[in-house]
Amino acid sequence: MKNRLVITGMGAVTPCGIGVDNFWQGLISGKSAVGEISRFDASALPVRFAAEVKDFEPTDFMDKKHVREMDLFMQFGYAAATEALRDAGFEEEGKLHGIDPERFGIALGTAYAGMTTIAETQDGLSKGLHSKVSPRFVPKVIGNIAAAQIAIAKGIRGPSMTVTTACSSGGDAIGIGAMLVAAGEADAALCVGAEAAINPLNILGLSSAHALSTRNDAPEKASRPFDKDRDGFVMGEGGGAIVIETEEHAKARGAKIYAVLLSCTNSTDGYHVTSPHPEGIGAIYCMERCIKKAGLTPADVDYINTHGTSTPMGDIIETKAIHTLFGEAVGSLAVSSTKGTTGHMMGAGGVTETIACVKAVTEGIVPPTLNLDTPDPECDLDYVPKEARRKDVRVAMSNAFGFGGQNSSVMVGRYE
């Protein structure tokens, strides 16, 4: 098919590695990236650990002016976008190259946008540390400015869309980018997920909702998707980016093609603001549509990178949804959650976990689910526990589900 969509560039800034290669090696190494919070004093908080991006030097990717102008979530997204553009051959000397700038689009997803800057600024005002607010404040906290900063710096003038669908934001950004290209609104699109919401305010809010693990004595063991002793998720952060275009466009410019973007879907539970539907109806519908849109059957799917956040109910519901949809085909299906390694990267996760699916397809390796020590009788799939596994993966799917009953699924396949 001439009009099928393909992935030609990838970029990642994650707790387990900066750059796609480092990210992938971090995933398959079997080592957790979770540790005590270092960015601020968390000693008085109920949760004192997270999966922070380590050794990130923003001036490796941007000048000091941009560092001052951008919230950390923007910096993560910008860095990932820069890697993806270079990887795709669309950047030269810091500017968009090899494509009409008005035919290049951006879709960016973030759940929290500039929440950390908002919290820090208000804290300073409340404590009397300052009485004025920087003129940079508003452009640092508005979600769409992350995409705008990329566009301004790189010289991109095509359509730009920012989506905030909680933890489905990254997956939905890929879906929007795919729609822009498929509809002929752009010849190629940069799809970005970005998040940096590890701050006291968010930790207190999620803790009061009993969403976070409180395993302060062993942070590296705290994110344990599908394990019987899981007690909540671990906050992560970072950025991910992929470049998509039609196969025809990619081949015409001699681009390398990593994988086919088979389909993207979105649905909502219509049930509750924080709890997923107990029967997983939204997740089932989203996955089912994703498979059908790709012209496949459940038996064609080799690997699912699950949402798998390590929450007591969420992991069970996703497991049951997969059982319901896949039926007997579940026996040959590999399933894992990379959040045991990276924590929950929120809006960035949908993109970085799609990258993990692309790598599973191209490398023939399924990343593991860490800390799966005690099987939960209600979570009985093949979760690839603790160690990466070699497997012939032709088709892989990434799930990302969020508050409000948001669901997104992205499916990639081997390029032939």
Is 344 noted as a catalytic residue in this protein?
yes
> DSSP characters for 12-27?
EEETTEESHHHHHHHH
Burial of 394 (0-12, 13-18, 19+ CB in 10 A): middle
167 noted as active-site residue: yes
Looking at residue 368, the DSSP 8-state letter turns out to be: P
Residue of 249, 290, 344, 357 marked active site: 344
Q: For residue 111, give both structure tokens.
A: 């759940």
- For residue 264, which of 149, 165, 159, 393 has the smallest C-alpha distance? 165
Residue in 249, 307, 357, 379 annotated catalytic: 307
* CA–CA distance, 112 with 404 (Å, rounded to integer): 14
CA 149 from centroid of its chain's CA atoms: 20
The DSSP element (H or E) to which 95 belongs, if any, is strand 95-96
Contacts of 158 (CB under 8 A, 6+ apart): 101, 102, 103, 104, 105, 106, 180, 185, 186, 189
Active-site residue (options: 16, 167, 264, 357): 167
**Alpha-carbon distances, residue 107 vs 19, 171, 319, 391 (angstroms):** 20, 10, 30, 32
| Dist. CA 107–CA 400, nearest whole Å | 17
Residue 25 neighbours by CB distance under 10 Å: 13
For residue 210, indicate whether it is catalytic: no
Residues annotated as part of the active site: 167, 307, 344
